[in-house]
């Protein structure tokens, strides 16, 4: 079988590496032609995942048509802002027998759509696609390094989820199947917002009490929104909810946490983002999450305060004070 990974950031490259033993061919598509040229010659993604060699059956390319030709599985790992235009660019090369996996953790600005919804909307112009979503507690470097990792593959099409589970699972990469893509995607997207808050706590020198409260109440917010959108609470207590949230809020490799640390130091958001090689999805997801919460009348005070901080309407310390002084209520 052949798998095509669209997006050669750190996560896309790590997926190509960990899935290489499971497929005869892995096509890794990148927008940057110069990066593709270097990956072909050095077998290393020196920008997004340095230090890890690409297996021999991983073929980097910047040609969408070549990447998608005869692919059995297509994995979307592009930044959320590029998802819609990329799926449109892919459309002429897509076929009904292909299976699609959305592995981007974010929401589309403006439409407030989950990334699998974006993919479905675009591909449905040609045929009804079979789409699953992949998420869980994953740092790309650890996955690429072969450290044991567990994730979730979710689709309302249980047969599809089961087939991806069988094809992707290996000695270091274990998949659990779910039929709740809404819960999985909301957990994946919103944990990045809470992780920025975790970074702020770290940057302000706050301790374990504060972080534990942030994670717990953050998970409550994420769960409320997921339920409002049709997800199930049980999903948010699993790998794609609590698991990913704990990892991203505590791990030193978390880009979103790093953004929070720098914000707490008083640096401007634009300055922080411009200095980053990779995108911190939580920065763009926050505004969409605030809009979703208002649309569905879901109480999300931490998310709202994160939006105020990112937009420069509130300082980190003032945001914490306002959260602590809110009207008292039962848990």
Query: 140-170 burial string, b = 16+ CB within 10 Å, else e?
Result: bebbbeeeebebbbbbebeebbebbbebbbe
Distance of CA 116 to the CA centre of its chain: 12
In the set 191, 265, 295, 329, the catalytic residue is 191
Contacts of residue 270, Cβ cutoff 8 Å, sequence gap at least 6: none
In the annotation, is 191 catalytic?
Answer: yes
> What crossing angle do the helices spanning 301-310 and 208-228 adopt, rounded to 10°?
110
Cβ contacts of residue 321 below 8 Å, gap of 6+?
none
Three-state SS at 101: strand
Q: What angle do CA 8, 11, 16 make, to 5 degrees?
A: 65
Entry field: residues in the chain = 331
| CA–CA separation, 177 and 45 (whole Å) | 30
Give whole-number Cα distances, 144 to 5, 11, 165, 192, 253, in Å.
Answer: 15, 9, 18, 21, 14
Q: Which residues are catalytic?
A: 191
């Amino acid at each position: 079988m052949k798998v095509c990974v669209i997006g050669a950031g750190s996560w896309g490259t790590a997926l190509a590496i960990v899935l290489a033993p499971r497929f005869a061919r892995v096509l890794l598509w990148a927008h940057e032609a110069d990066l593709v040229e270097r990956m072909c010659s050095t077998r290393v993604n020196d920008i997004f995942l340095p230090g890890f060699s690409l297996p021999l059956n991983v073929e980097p390319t910047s040609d969408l048509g070549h990447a998608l030709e005869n692919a059995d599985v297509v994995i979307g790992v592009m930044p959320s802002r590029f998802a819609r235009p990329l799926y449109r660019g892919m459309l002429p090369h897509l076929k009904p027998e292909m299976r699609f996996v959305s592995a981007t953790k974010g929401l589309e600005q403006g439409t407030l759509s989950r990334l699998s919804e974006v993919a479905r909307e675009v591909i449905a112009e040609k045929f009804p696609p079979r789409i699953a979503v992949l998420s869980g507690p994953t740092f790309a470097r650890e996955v690429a390094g072969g450290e044991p990792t567990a994730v979730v593959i979710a689709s309302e099409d249980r047969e599809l989820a089961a087939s991806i589970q069988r094809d992707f699972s290996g000695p270091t990469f274990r998949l659990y199947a779910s039929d709740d893509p809404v819960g999985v995607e909301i957990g994946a997207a919103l944990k990045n917002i809470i992780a920025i808050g975790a970074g702020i706590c770290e940057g302000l020198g706050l301790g374990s009490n504060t972080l534990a409260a942030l994670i717990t109440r953050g998970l409550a917010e994420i769960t409320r929104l997921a339920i409002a959108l049709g997800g199930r609470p049980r999903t948010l207590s699993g790998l794609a909810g609590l698991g990913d949230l704990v990892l991203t809020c505590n791990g030193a490799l978390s880009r979103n946490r790093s953004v929070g640390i720098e914000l707490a130091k008083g640096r401007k958001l634009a300055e922080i983002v411009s200095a980053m090689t990779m995108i911190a999805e939580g920065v763009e997801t926050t505004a969409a999450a605030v809009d979703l919460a208002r649309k569905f009348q879901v109480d999300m005070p931490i998310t709202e305060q994160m939006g105020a901080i990112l937009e420069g309407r509130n300082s980190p310390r003032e945001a914490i004070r306002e959260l602590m002084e809110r009207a008292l209520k039962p848990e």
